[in-house]
Structure 1
Amino acid sequence: MSTLERAYALARSGEVRSFSQLKERLKSEGCRAVDALLAPRSLRGHLEAMCDAANRAADAKQIAVEEA
């Protein structure tokens, strides 16, 4: 899996809460050229939006579990 593919997978998963955590996770997994590949503003914005959406969904699910 390429670095970009992994970035999108992590952003969708909800395993990272922010773009900076996403970059750190990729680097810790041994992905190369993370900063250069994720530098374009449009790409960063898309990944940030995906992280936000995944985290909102995870938070809502947690609240539903706690209320049950």
Structure 2
Amino acid sequence: MQAITRVARRWIADERGVTSIEYALLASMFAIAVLGSVVTLKGSLGDAYQMIAAAVTAAVSAAVTTALSTVS
């Protein structure tokens, strides 16, 4: 019985690997937060991307039209 108690006390006192476990827990919490944010903002991000793409397309189109009219 004393051997089991000794092994248990040594196991409880052993702190090797604690830091890596803490970093793994932090990384998993960060990943959950990022995934939750992406799921929550999915529609808004898609709308913003489409708005930016339309603005860039319009700007490029206007620049090309202006450049072509200047050359002619």
Task: State the TM-score, normalizing by the size of structure 2.
Answer: 0.39
Q: Which has the larger radius of gyration?
A: 2
Task: State the TM-score, normalizing by the size of structure 1.
Answer: 0.41
Structure with more relative contact order (C-alpha pairs < 8 Å, separation 6 or more): 1
